[in-house]
């Protein structure tokens, strides 16, 4: 679809990570009538900014993190649903309705966790996944089809500058 092609184009551009996320969210906002269900794993800086932008657009946004203080802050300042726990937990993902989610964005500090979250989420029925991965080699690797494993889009930290 048009949305998916634009997202792919944005993620291939060598622009700042934050700017890429803002552009991605802007495109999501163009499709507001869809009222997307979006799950964000990780309430750090990137997760917080994503949640903030999405909450202004009346999307059904869920945030998963271990840090109760970060989640309380999000609850008090944004129109999002928070869940304390491990985003790699199948039980937790099912509780928040991963099978009806349109997008799962894994932006924790651990690339291994983000990879795992995406694989589990995809196998449980989420439509699209985006994972933050530290290794820039994964972005342009033609030998490995990461979509087979459940990663639709990969963002690498080398874009953060």
pLDDT at residue 21, as a whole number: 62
Average pLDDT, the chain: 80
More confident position, 14 or 46? 46
pLDDT of 161 above 50: no
pLDDT of 1 above 80: no
Q: Is 32 exposed, middle or buried, given 0-12, 13-18 or 19+ CB atoms closer than 10 A?
A: exposed
Q: How far is CA 113 from CA 3, 26, 78, 161, in A?
A: 26, 26, 25, 23
pLDDT at residue 5, as a whole number: 54
pTM recorded for the entire structure: 0.78
pLDDT of 58 above 80: no
More confident position, 45 or 97? 97
Lowest mean pLDDT among 73-82, 109-118, 152-161: 152-161
Q: How far is CA 70 from CA 47, 81, 106, 125, 158, in A?
A: 10, 13, 16, 27, 25
pLDDT at residue 149, as a whole number: 83
Tell me the C-alpha distance between 158 and 113, whole Å. 18
Cβ proximity of 54 and 38 under 8 Å: yes
Bridge partners (DSSP) listed for residue 153: 130
Cβ proximity of 26 and 71 under 8 Å: no
- In angstroms, the first-to-last Cα distance of the chain is 30
């Amino acid at each position: 679809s048009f949305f998916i092609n634009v997202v792919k184009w944005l993620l291939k551009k060598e622009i700042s990570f934050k700017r890429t996320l803002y552009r991605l969210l802007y495109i999501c906002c163009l499709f507001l009538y869809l009222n997307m269900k979006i799950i964000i794993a990780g309430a750090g800086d990137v997760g917080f900014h994503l949640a903030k932008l999405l909450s202004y657009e009346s999307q059904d946004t869920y945030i998963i993190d271990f840090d109760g203080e970060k989640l309380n802050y999000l609850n008090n300042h944004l129109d999002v649903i928070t869940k304390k726990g491990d985003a790699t937990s199948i039980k937790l993902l099912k509780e928040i309705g991963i099978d009806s989610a349109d997008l799962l964005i894994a932006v924790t500090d651990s690339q291994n966790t983000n990879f795992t979250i995406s694989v589990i989420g995809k196998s449980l029925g989420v439509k699209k996944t985006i994972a933050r991965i530290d290794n820039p080699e994964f972005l342009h690797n033609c030998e490995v089809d990461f979509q087979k494993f459940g990663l639709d889009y990969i963002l690498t930290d080398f874009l953060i500058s």
